[in-house]
Amino acid sequence: MTFEVLSAEAARRAAAPYAEPAEDLPPALAALDYDGYRAITFRPDEGIRLGETFSAQLFHRGFLQRKRVALYLQPRSGAARPIPYASRLFDLGAGLAGQSFAPDLGFAGFRLHYASPETPSWRPKGFQEEFLVFLGASYFRLRAANQEYGLSARGLAIGTGAPEGEEFPDFVAHWICEPEPEARSLTVLSLLDSPSVAGAYRFAITPGDPARIAVTAELHPRQTVAKLGLAPLTSMFLYGENGPGARDAKPVDDFRPQVHDSDGLCVASGAGAGVDPARIDRIWRPLVNGRAQPQISAFAAAPLAGFGLLQRQRNFAAYLDVEARQEARPGLWVSPEAGGSAFAAGAVQLYEIPSVEEYMDNIVAAFVPAAAAQPGAPLRLAYGLTTVGAEPVAAIPEAALARVTSTRFGSAERLRPTKPPSPQRRLCVIDFEGPSLPHGPDDAISVDVSASAGTMHEPVANFVPQTGGWRIYVEWRPPEPLPAGDVVLRARLIRGTMPLSETWDAVV
C-alpha cells in the first residue's frame, strides 16, 4: 500500500454511497461494561515487532469499541498482509474466561511502543514505552517520553457545535509500515470514511521528547460540508486557577486545586521571514467551563503559523493528583507545512462544552476553512503535530514573545471599596514569563488593554522578583446592563508599539 494508492481508494469511496461500518459484536462483547472491557489486555509477548526499536499491540473489540478496524502490516517490500485476529492474543479477563471468538472478529485499534536510546538504565533491557494509540472513530493520542496521556488528536471533525449535531468520521483501516531495522521513525497509512468525507492519511511518526507526527492527507468530500474541522484537538477542562471561569459558574467541590488536561488555547499568526515584528501575534485564551450552553469562539489567523491546546501549569502542587499526574499531560501544537493549501484562509475555532465530569472531553479546537468543502474538489493537508511540555519550545513560533503563565480574577471592590459598592467590578491579574522581558523594573514597559464591552481601568505592569516575570493588574468595569454573552478582555505587554508578550484573550 502506498499513499497514492490509498488516495485513489478514498476518491473511489467518495464517489459511491456511504456504507456504515458493521457493529456486529458477539453478545458477550456487546454486553461488557467499562470494567469488563478494561479487563481485556493484550499479551505483550504477542506484540508485532517492527524493526529493532518499535512494536505494535492491538485492541480488542467490545463495550463502546464496537466497529471493526482493518489492520495490515506493510513490509518494506511486497504486498501488505492482514493482521489476523485470534483470541489467544489477549487475556480476556475473568468475565470472559474460557471463551474464544471467531477469526473474523477483527480489532478496534492499535498502539505503538518504542525503545528510546534515552531509556533510563533501571528499565529492563529492550524496554519499549507506549507512546501512540489509535482507538475509536478517528481519535489518536500521542505523548512524549515520560509524559502521561491527556488530550487527543483526530483525523477530522465535521459539524462540531452545529445544531444538527456532529458527525464523527472513522479510520476504517490502517497499514502499519515496517521500518528499517534501526529506524527511529515509522509510517502509518490510514483510510478515513464518513457520510460526508472519505480521506487518505499518512502519519510519519517520530517518538521522543518531543514526539512528532508529520501528517499528509487528501480529503474527498461526498457532499458539501460547511464546517470542516482540520487538525482537530480534543481535551478536558473542568476547572482551573481562576475557577471554572465562566460568569456565574458554580464552584467545584473537590480537594484538588485544578482539574484539566489543557488549560488554554494558543494561536499564532503573522509569523515568518520578512514580517513586521509589530504585526506578529500569538493569542492565549484561558479555557473556561460552567456556562449554561456550549460556546464557539473563532480566532482569525492570516497567515496561520500554528495553534495548540496546551497544559502550561506544570507544578504538581497545582493539581495534587498522584494518579492522574495532570502536570505531566502533553500539549499538542499544530503547524501547517508546505504541500497543503487547506490552511490558507479560515479561523481556528474553539468549542467549550459545559461539563461536570472529568472523564468527558469537553474542549475541541480545530482550523475551519473559510470556504465550504465541495464534492469533486479534494483538499490536501500537510501539517505537523508536536508534543509540548514545559515552555518555551522550538515548535511554537516567535519564542521571543513572553507567554501567559497564569490568569486570576478577583473582586476589585475588596481592594478599592466604592460608595455605593460596585460588586461587579473585577480585578484581572495576568502573569507573563519569557526572554523578551527585562529582568528588573523598566519604566519603558507599558500595557495595551481592551474590552469588547465595559471598560478597562488603571492597567499596571510590574516586575515580579519572586518569579523573574512580569504581572499586569487591570480592573474591568462591566456595562449596565451586562451583556448576555461572553465579554472578551485583552491585554499584552509592549515597549512603545512593539509587543513583548503574546496577547491574553480571556472571557468574563
483 domain-assigned:
yes
Q: What is the pLDDT of residues 48-94, one digit of tens each?
A: 999 999 999 999 999 999 999 999 999 999 999 999 999 999 999 99
Number of domain units in the chain: 2
221 domain-assigned:
yes
207 domain-assigned:
yes
**pLDDT, average across residues 27-42:** 94
What integer pLDDT is reported at residue 251 of this predicted model? 84
What integer pLDDT is reported at residue 276 of this predicted model? 57
The pLDDT of residue 339 is above 80: no
Q: Are residues 63 and 107 in the same domain?
A: yes
What integer pLDDT is reported at residue 271 of this predicted model? 60
Q: What is the pLDDT of residues 418-453, one digit of tens each?
A: 877 788 899 999 999 998 899 999 999 999 999 999
131 domain-assigned:
yes
What integer pLDDT is reported at residue 165 of this predicted model? 87
Closest CA to 455 of 474, 473, 480, 477: 477
The pLDDT of residue 280 is above 70: no
Quote the percentage of the chain above a pLDDT of 90: 79
Q: What is the pLDDT of residues 348-394, one digit of tens each?
A: 999 999 999 998 999 999 999 999 999 999 999 999 999 999 999 98
The pLDDT of residue 272 is above 60: no
CA distance 78 to 495: 61
CATH of the domain at 454: 2.60.40.10
Q: Are residues 268 and 145 in the same domain?
A: yes
Mean pLDDT, rounded, of the chain: 92
What integer pLDDT is reported at residue 417 of this predicted model? 82
The pLDDT of residue 287 is above 90: yes
Contact criterion met (CB below 8 Å) for 415 and 427: yes
Q: Are residues 114 and 177 in the same domain?
A: yes
What integer pLDDT is reported at residue 275 of this predicted model? 57
Q: Are residues 204 and 338 in the same domain?
A: yes
Q: Are residues 370 and 416 in the same domain?
A: no
436 domain-assigned:
yes
CA distance 311 to 296: 20
Q: Are residues 288 and 144 in the same domain?
A: yes
CA distance 97 to 401: 57
What is the residue-wise DSSP string for 49-101? EETTTEEEEEE--BTTB-S-BEEEEE-SSS--EE----GGGEE--GGGTT---
Contacts of 478 (CB under 8 A, 6+ apart): 424, 425, 426, 453, 454, 487, 508
What integer pLDDT is reported at residue 279 of this predicted model? 60
Q: Are residues 191 and 301 in the same domain?
A: yes
Q: Are residues 378 and 417 in the same domain?
A: no
What is the residue-wise DSSP string for 477-497? E--SSPPSS--EEEEEEEETT
397 domain-assigned:
no
Q: Are residues 214 and 252 in the same domain?
A: yes
What integer pLDDT is reported at residue 274 of this predicted model? 55
Q: Are residues 163 and 233 in the same domain?
A: yes
CA distance 38 to 74: 29
Q: Are residues 222 and 326 in the same domain?
A: yes
Taking only Cα atoms into account, the Rg of the chain, rounded to an integer number of angstroms, comes to 24
CA angle 292, 308, 452 (to 5 degrees): 50
Cis peptide bond N-terminal to 465, omega within 30: no
Q: What is the pLDDT of residues 220-249, one digit of tens each?
A: 999 999 999 999 999 999 999 887 778 888
What integer pLDDT is reported at residue 122 of this predicted model? 63
398 domain-assigned:
no
Read off the C-alpha cell for 304.
Answer: 496561520
Domain-terminating residue out of 388, 415, 430: 388
Q: Are residues 275 and 417 in the same domain?
A: no
Q: What is the pLDDT of residues 316-337, one digit of tens each?
A: 999 999 999 999 999 999 999 9
Cβ–Cβ contacts within 10 Å for residue 461, how many?
24
393 domain-assigned:
no
Q: What is the pLDDT of residues 456-476, one digit of tens each?
A: 999 999 999 999 999 999 999
CATH of the domain at 283: 2.70.98.10
Domain hosting 433: range is 403-507
